[in-house]
Chains A and B, each alone.
Chain A
Amino acid sequence: MHLHTLNQSPAQSQVYRQALAAMADDDCLLLIEEAVQGALPHLIGPFEGLAGRLYVLEEDLVARGLLERCDDNARVVDVEGFVSLTEQADKVLSWY
């Protein structure tokens, strides 16, 4: 399993398309920084196929006042959870 991180909002950048295209069936995606917007119900569309494999970083949601607005399909993890995901993954790929 590879972990992919994305730090750009899908509302402002198309790089999420490259990330999704590069992902294998068992890969996970973690939304960090501005990309946490992708966990909002009106922006989560492109990530809906990632059921159970879509994560979003809690600290970056909190910093933007978005924690309570997350879609249920995004699994909220804190930075410890981020490190834990990197432990489980064979490789970490950053999309930016």
Chain B
Amino acid sequence: MRYGILLLGAPYSNQAAHSALRFARTIIARGHQLDSVFFYHEGVHNAARLAAPPQDEPHLVDGWAELQREHGVKLDVCIAAALRRGLMDEEQAGRHGKEGHSVERPFELTGLGQLVDLGLRCDRLVTFAP
């Protein structure tokens, strides 16, 4: 079965991101395909390149990146939600005259159209929220 995940919760603020990552790993372990995780609202903070949690805590950003690396899961970040929270890749940083960037591959800034498409494309879309 094809799955998609919509994540609306920021990392380390509530349980949403932990729940979503645990669910994502279990979907794959059961042989399903996870097409994409769409990060929206506060969930865009999961794409923060500079996140440096204590070493004895789960590293959520690395956890998402690992899903992409090992299972080809797309990591789509809503560009409008990201930009207004200071999350941008190198291209957007250049466009907005900012020094440095806070989002990098495998996370990709995309539009809401990707979320609509994910909902249409997948057999199941599961939302995790604060």
Contact = CB atoms under 8 A, between A and B. Distances in A.
A82 interface: yes
Chief secondary structure at chain A's binding surface:
helix
- Band of interface residues on A: 10 to 19
B28 to A, nearest CB: 10
B128 A94 contact: yes
B124 A92 contact: yes
B27 interface: yes
Interface stretch (B15-23, B58-66, B82-90, B98-106): B15-23
A7 B26 contact: no
Contact of B27 (A32, A33, A83, A96): A83
B127 to A, nearest CB: 4
B129 A94 contact: yes
A83 B30 contact: yes
B126 interface: yes
A5 B13 CA distance: 20
B125 A96 contact: no
Nearest to A34: B15
Given A32-B19, A33-B19, A87-B1, A94 B26 contact: no
A7 B130 CA distance: 8
Interface of A: 5, 7, 32-34, 59-60, 79-80, 82-84, 86-87, 89, 91-92, 94, 96
> Which A-B residue pairs are the 9 nearest by beta carbons?
A96-B129, A94-B127, A33-B15, A79-B26, A92-B126, A83-B26, A86-B124, A83-B30, A79-B22
Given A7-B129, A59-B22, A92-B125, 13 more contacts: A7-B16, A33-B19, A60-B15, A79-B22, A80-B26, A83-B26, A86-B3, A86-B126, A87-B124, A92-B127, A94-B127, A94-B128, A96-B127
23 contacts: A5-B126, A7-B15, A7-B19, A33-B14, A33-B15, A60-B15, A79-B22, A79-B26, A80-B26, A80-B30, A82-B23, A82-B26, A83-B26, A86-B3, A86-B126, A87-B124, A89-B124, A91-B124, A92-B125, A92-B127, A94-B126, A94-B127, A96-B127
